A and B are shown apart, each in its own frame.
Chain A
Amino acid sequence: MTKTIDAVQDQFETFQILSEDGEVVNESAMPELSDEQLQELMRRMVYTRIWDQRAISLNRQGRLGFYAPVAGQEASMLGSQFALDKEDWILPGYRDIPQIVFHGFPLYQAFLWSRGHFQGGQIPEGVNILMPQIIIGAQIIQAAGVGLGLKKKGKKNICITYTGDGGASQGDFYEGLNFAGAYAANTVFVVQNNRFAISVPVEKQSAAKTIAQKAVAAGIEGIQVDGMDVLAVYAATQQARERAIAGEGPTLIETLTYRYGPHTMAGDDPTRYRTKDLDSEWEKKDPLVRFRKFLEKKNLWSEEQENKVVDEAKEDIKASIKKADGAPKQKVTDLINFMFEELPYNLREQLEEYTAKESK
């Protein structure tokens, strides 16, 4: 028995292109990206790191609501999103805000979503994303449905969905993989394994050595990727995307990553469950440091460029917060109107009641 499991697990080696020093260790797997595209990837990661720092401080000032920090996971998030076509769908979890912003969701709306304002859920037309999912795993079965819908409509597009290592323990995780496999749906599942589901370490989530190998049970492709290596994440996602639109079925991508910060800004204290040693071990793998070294060797990145992105990010955030501040005060009547296409009697009566109350 054990031999069977070992034989499966041993096939899931971590796919890597850049070493921690920014050296190319897997030349044949290098994706075809122009210099401008490489620079854009770096720009997005730097931008997101600054945004994360600002979001944490805005949350502490009470100017932002719910926020799940992303530092450490930039390569996993942005490398995978970079492989998408504009028409592809993203079904995000609540931490996956950078992907949807770079897919076209305005930053000020991300801030409104964080504040719990209804305009934060009003996805603009032509931006194929769902609102960030709160229930762990619910998006995974929905992604099987979106992927099947795209396939049935004959679209050369995919649906990508994100969850974490904890999400891979949900029944919906397996159901989503299994449904997508059974229908060869245009779906790519990304598990960002940041090693902790709030406080519970990944070793306690499952007896499986990798999450990627869970693909085997569903009869779909699975790959484990160095999630701190943006080129590896990009290449793996691009291949999974091509397979899906060629009708070859879905792929499960596990990215090995780490969140430097707390689970969310709502009182989580990572020192209760993580050691400093583990933190510094992962900081050595930092996706920005690694990619910066790679780009510097190619003369594609400088301190000047970096500072420009930092300034740009700060300006954008300032302007976006200002725009979010300008959103109208929420009314009960706004919410009532979004319950049904046509309001039933009880809501019609309540609309009247609250219209009177709120016009006082």
Chain B
Amino acid sequence: MAQMTMIQAITDAMRNELKNNEDVVVFGEDVGQNGGVFRATEGLQKEFGEERVFDTPLAESGIGGLAIGLGLTGFRPVMEIQFFGFVFEVFDSVAAQMARMRYRSGGVYNSPVTIRSPFGGGVKTPELHADSLEGLMYQTPGIKVVIPSTPYDAKGLLISAIRDNDPVVYLEHMKLYRSFRGEVPEEEYTIELGKADVKREGKDVSIITYGAMVHASLKAADELEKDGISAEVIDLMTISPLDIDTIIASVEKTGRAIVVQEAQKQAGIGAFVVAEINDRAILNLEAPVLRVTAPDTVFPYASAEDVWIPDHRDIVEKAKKVYNF
């Protein structure tokens, strides 16, 4: 089995789908000749031609409109927003147009668009590149939101996202692009959207998380184990819709849970997960469900990221608080 970084797995997924379906088209700013600013589309234009993999003018809203129009004429668009902080420029196309296409047409039309975009902090970008804006997407009915944390998951989830007949926002945490390699099968495989993955089993406390925080949570679980606390780490992988069955089964088993996100406390999806647990499993709880999040400021300047983004120590602290409640 091949060892790949997450970005290589993402490229591999797009290559697979470009081969698999001639209606798949990949486009965005710098995705053609340049292969994308992160090289996510490296070599794809050369392999599949300019008709299939192409650069767009520099205008996010236009890219969103292009995707909707191509979707209506039988294509399966995979559009890139160069950094997710730029999503505000294309928010109408995503939230008011694609997300409503099926509803507005009473099921006649759909927008089979995949929106790929890098997000998340820790790589010292300029302002409005790294922001964790996934909560805005979660609050928008009509779209799915996928956030992989490993190269293996990245490939299977992206293939599923591209094949999905509804719009999928697929967010790629920048810090995970090249930070490690993992085993990725060369053949195609899919991972069902809307399913979480238990990355580590445990019996004392559930750590529910996604994105880069999966890795901080796994590190925290190692620390907790030294103190005799067995933590279960759930990687949501799809944050909209949530995999409610996996979350609730875990909480029923452990009776204790924390939700961990890199986003601010008022952003992300932590509050929604807590609300769902309260709705469905409150009588199983031995302690309140706590959250590990960033503070409610705007996403910080590069030199403040390290003190702002939660880390494994914050997770250990909250997990112990819940465990010792």
Contacts and interface: CB of A to CB of B under 8 A. Distances in A.
To the question of whether A and B form a pair in one complex, the answer is: yes
Interface of A: 89, 118-119, 121-123, 130-131, 135, 138, 140-150, 152-153, 159, 171-172, 175-176, 178-179, 182, 335, 337-341, 344-346
Contact of A175 (B62, B74, B97, B107): B62
Given A138-B97, A175-B65, 12 more contacts: A130-B72, A138-B65, A142-B69, A144-B62, A145-B66, A152-B25, A152-B70, A153-B73, A159-B69, A176-B65, A179-B62, A345-B245
B180 interface: no
B109 interface: yes
Contact of B106 (A147, A172, A338): A338
A142 B106 contact: no
Interface residues of B, number: 44
Interface string B93-127: 10011000011111111100000000000000000
5 nearest interchain CB pairs? A145-B69, A141-B65, A149-B73, A344-B241, A175-B62
A339 B241 contact: no
B57 A182 contact: yes
Nearest to A131: B104
- Most interface-central of B59, B69, B104, B141 (chain A CB within 10 A): B69
A89 B57 CA distance: 24
Contacts of A143: 65, 69
Nearest to A343: B241
B30 interface: no
A92 to B, nearest CB: 13
A122 B59 CA distance: 31
Contact of A122 (B96, B106, B110, B242): B106
Contacts of A118: 106
Contact of B241 (A131, A152, A335, A345): A345
A98 to B, nearest CB: 20
A145 B79 CA distance: 12
B142 interface: yes
Nearest to A120: B106
A329 to B, nearest CB: 15
Nearest to A344: B241
Contacts of B103: 335, 338-339
B278 interface: no
B148 interface: no
B92 A179 contact: no
Contact of B96 (A135, A144, A149, A175): A135
B64 interface: yes
B69 A144 contact: yes
A127 B80 CA distance: 31
B62 A123 contact: no
Nearest to A161: B69
B190 to A, nearest CB: 14
A175 B241 contact: no
Contacts of A344: 144, 194, 240-241
Given A131-B104, A338-B103, A138 B72 contact: no
A353 to B, nearest CB: 13
A118 B103 CA distance: 8
B161 interface: no
Interface string B27-68: 000000000000000000000000100001101011011111
Contacts of A138: 65, 92-93, 96-97
A118 B71 CA distance: 21
A145 B142 contact: no
Contacts of B105: 121-123, 130-131, 338
